[in-house]
Amino acid sequence: MDNVRPLGGDVYEIDTRMAGYSGITAGYLILGDRPCLVETGTSTSAPVVRDALTSLGVGTGDLATVVVTHIHLDHAGGVGDIAGYYPSAEIVVHEKGARHLADPSRLMASAKMVWGDKLDVLFGTLAPTDAARIRALGDTGSIDLGNGRTLSSHYSPGHAKHHVGLLDSLTGDLYVGDAAGVYLPETGDLRPATPPPDFDLGVALDSIALFEALGPQRLLFSHYGPVEAVPETLERSAEELRVWVDLTRQARAEGLDLNHAVAMVRDRTRERYTALRADDATAEQFELLSGAPSNVAGILHWLDRTPDA
């Protein structure tokens, strides 16, 4: 299938075709004795992901594990549908996200407030998963991939309080979710993802430092794809966070309202990102996943509740 790409080590990148776009949201399948899907994509992507798994020889009884880095709808919106397709799969998520997968009503209500009419088009509706099938992760945890291979989870808040990174013991791949930002392979751009309500600079930087300390061989971004230059990329992630926070803090000190703060930060960061000077389609993709309004709102929210930040 043209949306499935082998990455070596029995790992396959799946373009989930989020909202019909290509190249913005990836899921990954780790094949082997106990096939494991990392990230489901959105609810509307679930049939696309199922077709990809079928093409890789994973039948309805074969999928052992579904794990999500966090419960934002572009990563976990399809969990309920995928759990339905694959009745023997265990659903693995950080403990702060588990109850929302079992009962998505609050999560969907707050997503509706953020996205409004765009919610259905972008994400669809997260269906509930039987709580008995959900395994909640603490600060660390482990997923059995078969044959002695494991995927170890590492709590990595900052972007979201229910975020984990996942390290493959065989390949050294680290699934970074959104904790290291959004990477655009077409341009090599890397932009922070700092949405409300959980973003916290110090915590986010600690998670990036933890990722560095794990010594991964390769980073697998949910947005989007593999990156081999690990230390450089993680340093860049941290730097971009600092730049956005500094600029937002400045806009706040000048007393700008949200719209003007967004305009200022967007303007002052534009030169950092090739994508925003490229064609409109690339810029739109980038803006959709780590839009300046969401990033600035998240940073302002953190500054407002952190008096000495």
Please identify, using beta-carbon distances, which residue of 31 and 122 lies nearer to Zn ion: 122
Shortest Å distance, C-beta 289 to Zn ion: 6
Shortest Å distance, C-beta 203 to Zn ion: 17
Please identify, using beta-carbon distances, which residue of 30 and 160 lies nearer to Zn ion: 160
Whether 112 and 124 have beta carbons less than 8 Å apart is answered as no
Instruction: Tell me the HSE value of 94 on the side-chain side, using a 13 A CA sphere.
Output: 23
Phi, psi of 37 (to 5 degrees): -95, 125
Shortest Å distance, C-beta 198 to Zn ion: 13
Please identify, using beta-carbon distances, which residue of 81 and 178 lies nearer to Zn ion: 178
**For residues 182-196, b (16+ Cβ closer than 10 Å) or e, as one string?**
bbbeebebbbbbbbb
Whether 16 and 124 have beta carbons less than 8 Å apart is answered as no
Please identify, using beta-carbon distances, which residue of 13 and 74 lies nearer to Zn ion: 74
* Separation between Cα atoms, residue 75 and residue 193, nearest integer Å: 14
* Separation between Cα atoms, residue 175 and residue 308, nearest integer Å: 32
Q: Which segments within 95-204 are labelled E, that is strand?
A: 134-137, 140-146, 149-155, 164-168, 173-177, 182-184, 189-191
Is the peptide bond prior to 85 cis by the omega test (within 30 degrees of 0)? no
What is the binding site for Zn ion (CB under 5 A)? 74, 178
Shortest Å distance, C-beta 74 to Zn ion: 4
Please identify, using beta-carbon distances, which residue of 34 and 94 lies nearer to Zn ion: 94
Shortest Å distance, C-beta 182 to Zn ion: 7
Shortest Å distance, C-beta 290 to Zn ion: 8
Please identify, using beta-carbon distances, which residue of 20 and 59 lies nearer to Zn ion: 20
